[in-house]
Amino acid sequence: MEEALSTKREAEAAEDVPDTRQKMLVILGPTASGKTKVSLELARCFPLEIICADSRQVYREMEIGTAKPDAHERLQAPHHLLDVVFPDQPFSVDDFYRLAKHAAASIGARGHIPCVVGGTGLYIRALTAGLLDAPSADPLLRARLLRLEEENGPGTLYRMTQHVDPEIALRLFPRDVTRLVRALEVFAQSGRRLSDLQREHGFRQQEFRTLKIGITMPREELYRRIDERVDRMLTSGLLEEVSGLLARGYSPDLKAFQALGYREAVRCLKGEMTLEETRSAMKLATRHYARRQLTWFGREPDVLWVNFSENPDNLVHRVENFLLTR
């Protein structure tokens, strides 16, 4: 009985200890869902500074196809992690994590609130949950694993993953070569399963107190917005932008040119697709990408999903409550 009372008192005491972690808003959702608009609306009500979590917007000289906030939008609130590297420079989730943490600390020192806005799920997960303590990439090992898949046929890496880490295999598709290679790479380097490392990582305390806001809307409305965005990109000069980048000596094989819109634009400029075929391919690929984003974010814990256009005042109230809690 005394032991039970002692445990209860300890639990009550723990509840009274204030959470001193830095607060952070996160606005996530699929491409073209209006995340920037929501963040700027909230910035009118609260002292927010925006950290962009978009793997394409880090590239300089790539404006139209990345749908970066324009000059007017950037004047409404400070933006961070835009235009970080040139298209031929590497940029990883580790780089994002390091720069975003530094930006958040600087924002907090000014008495403002960091607001992470973007659709790159891996960036958001790294910042809110912390980086996994796992071996770094090994280019030679990755090359050997990819050769195995090529020489022995599709499904080879999936079967290998089923053998060494069945839990991870259950979460992946047999054709998800990138993630299969990562699971095998971790096991080969450390002798430990990636699933075990992820489970242990999940028990660590997160560095920030976050309110995750997911932007949602009917699928038909999202697709309409995607189609309009693609049309706007092409009208605004996406092909001219890509042509200029290639003329400056950037290789079409760069990772930056594998981004949505840019890869289709390169094919169009090579004469492999007409303008209308490029338009259709961009719209279809962007819809597929939006579905993958929704699947990823659907697995994120503690997301407050809102249709901002239906009840903006409710979201402002929820954010206010979050910022006022100690």
What's the pLDDT at 15? 56
In this prediction the pTM is 0.81
Q: Per-residue pLDDT for 201 more than 80? A: no
Question: For residue 265, which of 30, 119, 63 has the smallest C-alpha distance?
Answer: 63
Contact 62, 87 (CB under 8 A): yes
pLDDT band at 171 (very low <50, low <70, confident <90, very high): confident
Contacts of 196 (CB under 8 A, 6+ apart): none
Domain boundaries, the chain: 20-130+204-324, 139-201
What's the pLDDT at 197? 81
Q: Per-residue pLDDT for 243 more than 90? A: yes
Architecture of domain 139-201: Orthogonal Bundle (1.10)
Contact 216, 305 (CB under 8 A): yes
Specify the DSSP class assigned to residue 56: T
Q: Does domain 20-130+204-324 have CATH number 3.40.50.300?
A: yes
What's the pLDDT at 28? 98
Cα 277 to Cα 282: distance, rounded to the nearest angstrom: 9
Angle at 106 between CA 321 and CA 59, to 5 degrees: 105
